[in-house]
Amino acid sequence: MARSTSPARLVIALSVAAVLAVFLLYTSLAGGGTPSVSPSELATKTGEVSLAGRVVGAPTGDPHGAGLRFALEDIEGADKQRVKVIYKGSVPDLFRPGRDVVVTGTQRADGTFVTTPGSMITKCPSKYQAADSS
């Protein structure tokens, strides 16, 4: 009993695989990613963004109450524009003035950046500095 295979099954299987591959490629490249901006670029963006900057000044407030308030400025570059930030949620242990952080949220009309609760990520400076080549 020889079993004959139909080429139609192969064509259908390959078509389904091709459609899935195109869908995955589209969602990875054009999918709803959140743009990352620095404080000096924030004024040109609308909607939700990831704001990367360096914490300046002493933070005030309560992250579980009205919100932790602090300012971020550009990590590098001559333009040291500052943005006021209101953050609610758990604060990473490494958070302090001078530390580079990334928060996600939106900018209000008054220029204050209001974050999505719990969206703060601190950057470890030792991982991002060039090795000393002495």
Q: Which two tokens stand for residue 128?
A: 């991002």
pTM: 0.67
Q: In which residue are the tokens 């590098």 written?
A: 76
Four-residue CA torsion sign, 44, 49, 51, 57: positive
Radius of gyration of the CA atoms of the chain, in A: 23
Distance of alpha carbon 77 from alpha carbon 106, whole angstroms: 23
Give the domain ranges of the chain: 36-128
**Which pLDDT score is estimated for 101?**
93
Mean pLDDT for back-to-back runs of 10 residues, the chain (134 residues): 73 92 78 78 86 91 88 82 91 90 92 91 68 54
Distance of alpha carbon 22 from alpha carbon 7, whole angstroms: 23
Architecture of 36-128 per CATH? Beta Barrel (2.40)
**Which pLDDT score is estimated for 113?**
93
**Which pLDDT score is estimated for 2?**
56
**Which pLDDT score is estimated for 127?**
54
Distance of alpha carbon 103 from alpha carbon 106, whole angstroms: 10
Q: Which two tokens stand for residue 41?
A: 């670029």
